[in-house]
Amino acid sequence: MRAHLLNSGSDTPGAETMPVHVPVMTAEVLAALNPQRGGVYLDCTVGLGGHARVLLEAGASRVIGIDRDPAALAHAAGTLAEFGDRVELVHADYREATRVLDGRHLDVVDGVLADLGVSSMQLDGPGRGFSFQRDEALDMRMDTSQGPTAADLLARVDEHDLADVIYAYGEERRSRAVARAIVAVRATSPIQTTGQLASIVRRVVGRSGRIDPATRTFQAIRVWVNEELTGLDAFLRSLTRRLAVGARFAVITFHSLEDRPVKHTFRALAHEDEQFRLVTKKSITPGDDETRLNPRARSARLRAIERVG
C-alpha cells in the first residue's frame, strides 16, 4: 500500500497541543486558481485554514470556507481572524456546496478548491479515533455533530458487507478474514476502541514490511464512516457549473480511489461540454522539496478544470 497511509502516526512535534497541518501544493494551487485578480473563492475543505490564508494573502477578495468538522472550523476561525469579513466559515458537507452558494445569492464564483481527505489534526489529534497509534474511543467521524461512529457501524454491520468495505476502500487482500474476526470478537464483547480493532486486525494480517497491518483496515473504515467516495461525481459536476467564465476548480486528492473519479469526471465534462477545458491533462504532483519537508504531500495530486465559455 502507498506511503501516505503511514500518516496515522504523528511525526509532528507538539501536535498534541497545537494542531499543525501544512497546506499542500500551495504554489500549484495559486497557479491554478489565480486569486491575484481578486474575486470570490469557495474553499470546500477549509480545514485549519491553510489554503484559505494563501488565497486571501494572494489577493482573493472573499473566501467562503466549508468544512464538516466543527473543531476544524473553530480552529480556522482563529487562524483566519485577521481577515475579518473577507472570510465566511460554514459548517456543511461539501456535497451541499451549491446550496451554500444559493443561500448567499452567488450564482457563480471566481474559483473553487477542494483538498480532499482528512487533515493532520483529525488523523493525529487525540480524541478522534482515526489512529491506531493511540488507544481511544473508535469514533472516526469528521463531522462529530452527527451520524454513527465507527464503533456504532461495526456493532451492526453484516459480515459480508464489512468484508466488501475493507476490500474496496482499503484494498486489503485479507478482508474476508478480517471481517470474520471482527464479527467473532463482537459476539462476545463490543469493539469500542482503536486499540481493540488494531489488535484484531494485527492478529489476522501478519506484518509484511514497514507498514502496520492495521493501516489498510483503518483507512477502509474511515472512508466508510465518512462516506468519502459517495457523490463525488455529482459534487464535481454541480460546482463546475457554478464557475464564472475564466474561473477554475482545483481538486487535490491523496489516494487513487479518490483521484480516479476526479480524473474521469473532469475529463468527461471537458469532452461533453465545450464550456469546459482541462487545465491539467495529467495530474500535477508536488516537487521533491515539498515532499521532503511535508511527508503528507507525498501522495498528493492536483487536477483542475476551467470554464472557458
Residues that bind ligand SAH (CB under 6 A): 21, 23, 45, 47-51, 66-69, 72, 93-95, 115, 117-119, 142
Shortest gap between Cβ of 47 and ligand SAH (angstroms)? Answer: 3
Q: How far apart are CA 135 and CA 126, in angstroms?
A: 9
Q: Which is nearer to ligand SAH, 23 or 111 (CB)?
A: 23
Shortest gap between Cβ of 237 and ligand SAH (angstroms)? Answer: 15
Q: How far apart are CA 276 and CA 241, in angstroms?
A: 9
Shortest gap between Cβ of 117 and ligand SAH (angstroms)? Answer: 5
How far CA 20 is from CA of 80, 89, 216, 273, in Å, comes to 15, 19, 24, 40
Q: How far apart are CA 214 and CA 264, in angstroms?
A: 30
Q: Which is nearer to ligand SAH, 6 or 183 (CB)?
A: 6
Shortest gap between Cβ of 32 and ligand SAH (angstroms)? Answer: 14
Shortest gap between Cβ of 198 and ligand SAH (angstroms)? Answer: 23
Q: Which is nearer to ligand SAH, 137 or 229 (CB)?
A: 229
Q: Which is nearer to ligand SAH, 39 or 117 (CB)?
A: 117
Check if the beta carbon of residue 309 is closer than 8 Å to that of residue 269. Answer: no
Cα dihedral 252/254/255/259 (nearest 10): 0
Q: Which is nearer to ligand SAH, 68 or 134 (CB)?
A: 68
Pick from 156, 146, 46, 31: nearest CA to 90 = 46
Q: Which is nearer to ligand SAH, 142 or 157 (CB)?
A: 142
Q: Which is nearer to ligand SAH, 40 or 142 (CB)?
A: 142
Pick from 111, 58, 57: nearest CA to 79 = 57
Shortest gap between Cβ of 26 and ligand SAH (angstroms)? Answer: 8
First vs last C-alpha separation in the chain: 41
Strand, helix or coil for residue 163: helix
Check if the beta carbon of residue 254 is closer than 8 Å to that of residue 25. Answer: no
Shortest gap between Cβ of 46 and ligand SAH (angstroms)? Answer: 6
Q: How far apart are CA 192 and CA 186, in angstroms?
A: 10
